[in-house]
Structure 1
C-alpha cells in the first residue's frame, strides 16, 4: 500500500503578472493579472503548485492571510485532495465557501492534485481517470477596438482558432451592434463567435440588446445580467431564444444546482477556482452530464485542460493566458487546441520572474 507523504508547509506568494493581452470589460479593466501562487510542500520533497486570480491587487494580502490561517489545518496531513477539501468545507460550514475563502480552498485543492500527480508521475487528467487530449479552444478577447485589434483577430484565425469571444456591453447599444458586426466581418461566417456582457445589463435591456444581435449567428451570449440573477438569465433565454452561457461565478457545485433548477442557461462555464478545484469540478461535471449541459472552462488554462479532458459534456476551452509570465513552460495553443501537460498540472514556476513581479 502506498503511503501518501504528509504536508509540511503551505505558502501563498502574491504577484502581479503582466499579460500578453490585457483586457477591458463592461464592468472593469484588468491591465495585469493579480495572482496568488500556492505551494503545498511535503515532507518527502514533493511540492504541489497552483495559482488563483485575485481580480484586483487589493485582494492579494487578504488571500495570502487566509493561506497562513489555513496552513495549520493542513500541516501533518497526507496529500489526499478530496479528503482535505471536504475537511476544509466542514470546518467552515457556518461561514460558507463563497468569496476569498472558497477561492483559496479551491487553489489548495488544485495544488494537492498537482502534488499527487508529481508523486505518481502522472498528469492530473490521468489521476481523474482520463488522459490529456487536444481540446478545442476559443481565443478570448476583451472589448475590441477596430483600429487596434484587427491584426490580432486575423492572427487568431490564422493560428487555427475556430472560435472567438469578445466582450461587449457598451454604454450605447448601437456600439454593441457595430462592434459585433465588425468582428463578424473580420472572422467570417464559419468561425464561431461568442459575446460576453460581464453582468452589465438588467433583464429588459438585455432582451432588447440581444434581439439586435440576432443576425450575427452568435454561439452564445454570456452573463447578460448579474450572475446571481438566475431568474433574469432564464427570462432572457425565454424572451429572445438566445443561447445563454453563465457559470463562472457559481460557488461550488451547489451554485450550479441552483442554476439548473432555475433553467438559467444553455451552457455551463466552470471556473475551477470557484467551483471547488478538481474535487468540486468533478461533482459539477456529473451534474452537467445528467442534464446534458455542455461545459466550458473559465481562465486557468493549465488546470482547466486536465478537468475538461475528463468532463463528459466538454464544449470549449477558454484560452486567456493569466500566468504565462511567471511560468517556465507556459501553456500554448496548437492549431486552436489546448492539451494538458504533466506530471501533475505541468506547472513550473519561473522564480526569477516571480521575484520581479512580487508584491
Structure 2
C-alpha cells in the first residue's frame, strides 16, 4: 500500500493507446457485424506512483483515433488535479457544458473516471469493490453469444452449460419469425430446462413486429427480451411491455443516469443493464444502481466484465454479469470464471493490467 495521504495525490499524466483486437467469434447482430474489438487503453499516472488503467470499446475502428485524442485532450485538462473521482466528474461536466457530454466525449470521460477509481484503489491498497464498501464475492454471470445460427449456436450453448453457466444469451431478429423460433428451440433443447435463455433483438424491430415475435416466444422459456425496438424509444418499449408477458431488458445504450431515469419514468423495462462506459464509468454506475434500487429493478451489466464484476458486487439489485471477453488478448490476467460466476480479483484496483507484447502486436498507430 502506498503511504501518501490520498488527499495529496494528484494526476500527473494520462496516456492512451489504440488497439484492434481479434475476436474468437465475430459479434453478429440483426443490425450489423462487429468483427474485431477496437479498444482505447488508458493509463492514468498519479503523483504517488499509482497507475490506474481502463479501456474503452469504440465498436468500430473508425472511432479509435478520435476517441484516443479526446482522452488525451481531457487528460491534459486534468493534470495536477487531485485524484478524487467525484470531483473530477464535476470538473469534466463543467468543462464540457457547452459541447455536451455525449458521444465520444462521454466515452472518454467514462474511461478517465474508471482509470481514476482504479488508481485510487491502488493507492489505498484495496480491490475496487472494497474501496466502494463491498466485498469480493461470486457474481452470477451469463455467457453472451451472437446471432450464430443453429449449428454454432448449439455448440456454444453446450460449451457454456458444461462450464457451469446458468444463463446464456443469443442474438435474434433473423429475417423471419420462423428462423428465430428454429434457433431458440434448438438452443432450448441443447441447454435443457434448468438454464436460463435470454434473447437480444439489438433494436431491430418495429413496435408491432416486436409484439408479434415476443408473443411467439412466450412458450419457449425466455427469461428476458433485450432491446426489441429502438433503444431511445422508451414509449415504444412501454407499449411492448403492456402487450407481452415476457420481461423486457434495456439499458446498454443509456448515455448517463439521466437517460436511465427517463426510461424508468416511462416504465420502459422490467430489468436494467447499464454499460460501464456509456453510463459514465464507476461514478455513473453508482448513480444508476441507486435508481435501480429505488425502483426495485434487477440490474445486470453490459460488457466491460473486468470493472463490472466489482460494480455488481456493490449493486443492491445485482442480477447477472455479462461474460463477453473483448479485451482478454491484451490483458496480463483476463477475468476468471468458475461454475458460471466471477469474483473480483484480490489485487488492488480493478485487476486490469496490460500484456505489453500483445498491445504492441495489435496497436493501431495514427497516420
Q: TM-score range by the shorter chain?
A: over 0.9
Offset at 1:2?
Answer: 4.1
Answer yes or no: is the 8 Å Cα contact 2:138–2:343 preserved in 1.
Answer: yes
User: Out of 336, 343, 356, which is 1:351 matched to?
Assistant: 356
Show the 5 A alignment for 1:66-81.
66-81=70-85
Unaligned 5+ runs, structure 1: none
Offset at 1:235?
Answer: 0.7
Answer yes or no: is the 8 Å Cα contact 2:48–2:123 preserved in 1.
Answer: no
Offset at 1:6?
Answer: 1.2
User: Out of 93, 96, 112, which is 1:92 matched to?
Assistant: 96
Alpha carbons of structure 1 residues 184 and 312: separation in structure 2 relative to 1, 3 Å: same
Unaligned 5+ runs, structure 2: none
Q: Which residue of 2 aligns with 1:200?
A: 204
Show the 5 A alignment for 1:230-241.
230-241=234-245
User: Out of 280, 284, 288, which is 1:280 matched to?
Assistant: 284
The 1-side partners of 2:8 and 2:161 are apart by 45
Answer yes or no: is the 8 Å Cα contact 1:4–1:80 preserved in 2.
Answer: no
Report whether the alignment pairs 1:132 with 2:136: yes
Show the 5 A alignment for 1:1-359.
2-341=6-345, 342-359=347-364
1:104 counterpart SS class: helix
1:228 counterpart SS class: coil
Offset at 1:241?
Answer: 2.2
Segment drifting more, 75-84 vs 294-303:
75-84
The 2-side partners of 1:348 and 1:68 are apart by 19
Query: Which deviations, in whole Å up to 9, do the C-alpha atoms of 1:103-129 show, x marking residues without a partner?
Result: 110110000011011111101111111
TM-score normalised over the length of structure 2:
0.96
Answer yes or no: is the 8 Å Cα contact 2:121–2:349 preserved in 1.
Answer: yes
Root mean square deviation, CA, Å: 1.1
The 2-side partners of 1:87 and 1:198 are apart by 34
Number of residue pairs matched by the alignment: 359
Offset at 1:215?
Answer: 0.9
